[in-house]
């Protein structure tokens, strides 16, 4: 099945650093979502984006819906240990269609 | 408020067997979606149930089937298990009218097929 391309695949950073990751698709999406998944848990929604060009923040997290509707970006500022995990983007084609297409994931590790 | 729960947490089956996975949706949610997450991959949409009827299906063969009950809990059934069916199976519940952003995921059932 289709999966969105996320980069980087993994990141090793020090506590306090900023993080940037992105997600690209060959198809247009009308909604972009960012999730975080911890070991042994299901994905937890971080940010939802509904309009092309939209920039939305949730605490230290900021995400943008690309103008082309084929990409999205997530930034995490001043990383802390609990930011460790796998981050997934997900796209939805139209409102009312619950099917989410997920990205391949970005694994974030914080080096002590 | 009770979150999404799934059972069992882990399961080991052999090739050719059948398996049933269960999901209890979050209180007040009438829609359940099932996803398969292979190791190192993102979740892949299997199907969704709304008011006991299938409401959308991903690229999975007919041996993947499901049910939704009047209390909105759901089952995922997989027949004739194959080695590639080994994965984490996630269910997510939501209220249909509010859209996918309200999907709450359970912890998943990890299935190993030998």
**How confident is the prediction along chain B (114 residues), in pLDDT tens digits per residue?**
568 999 999 999 999 999 999 999 988 888 899 999 999 899 999 999 988 999 888 899 999 999 999 999 999 999 999 999 999 999 999 876 655 567 889 999 999 999
Q: Which of A64, A77, A73, A78 is nearest to A23 (CA)?
A: A73
Residue numbers of A between 50 and 89 with CB closer than 8 Å to B? 88
pLDDT band at A52 (very low <50, low <70, confident <90, very high): very high
pLDDT at position A38 over 90: yes
> What residues of B are in contact with residue A44 (Cβ under 8 Å)?
105
Q: Which of A40, A42, A99 sits opposite B45 (nearest CB)?
A: A99
- Using the Cβ of B92 and the Cβ atoms of chain A, whether some distance falls under 8 Å is answered with yes
Confidence at A96, pLDDT banded by 50, 70, 90: low
**Chain A residues touching B94 at Cβ < 8 A:** 98
Note whether A109 and A12 are within 8 A (CB).
yes
A94 pLDDT band (50/70/90 cuts)? low
Mean pLDDT of A77-94: 93
Q: Does A105 touch chain B (CB under 8 A)?
A: yes
Which phi and psi angles does A70 have, rounded to 5°? -110, 5
pLDDT of residue A77: 97
* pLDDT value of position B101: 63
Dihedrals phi, psi of A48, to nearest 5 degrees: -120, 135
Band the pLDDT of A60: cuts 50, 70, 90. Answer: very high
pLDDT reported for residue B86: 97
Question: Is some CB atom of chain A closer than 8 A to the CB atom of B101?
Answer: yes
Question: What pLDDT does A106 receive?
Answer: 97
């Amino acid at each position: 099945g289709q999966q969105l391309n996320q980069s980087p695949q993994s990141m090793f950073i020090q506590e306090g650093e900023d993080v940037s990751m992105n997600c690209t698709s060959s198809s247009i999406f009308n909604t972009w979502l960012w999730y975080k998944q911890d070991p042994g848990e299901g994905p937890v929604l971080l940010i939802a984006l509904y309009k092309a060009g939209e920039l939305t923040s949730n605490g230290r997290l900021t995400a943008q819906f690309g103008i082309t509707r084929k990409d999205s970006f997530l930034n995490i500022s001043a990383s802390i240990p609990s930011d460790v995990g796998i981050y997934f983007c997900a796209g939805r084609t139209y409102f009312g269609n619950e099917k989410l297409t997920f990205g391949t994931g970005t694994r974030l590790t914080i080096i002590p | 408020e009770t979150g999404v729960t799934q059972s069992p947490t882990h399961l080991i089956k052999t090739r050719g067997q059948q398996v049933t996975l269960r999901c209890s949706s979050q209180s007040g949610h009438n829609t359940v979606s099932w996803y398969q997450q292979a190791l190192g991959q993102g979740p892949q949409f299997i199907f969704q149930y709304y008011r006991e009827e299938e409401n959308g299906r991903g690229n999975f063969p007919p041996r993947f089937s499901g049910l939704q009950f009047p209390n909105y809990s759901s089952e995922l059934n997989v027949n004739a298990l194959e080695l590639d069916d080994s994965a984490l199976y996630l269910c997510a519940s939501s209220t249909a009218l509010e859209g996918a952003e309200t999907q709450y995921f359970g912890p998943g059932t990890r299935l190993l097929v030998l």
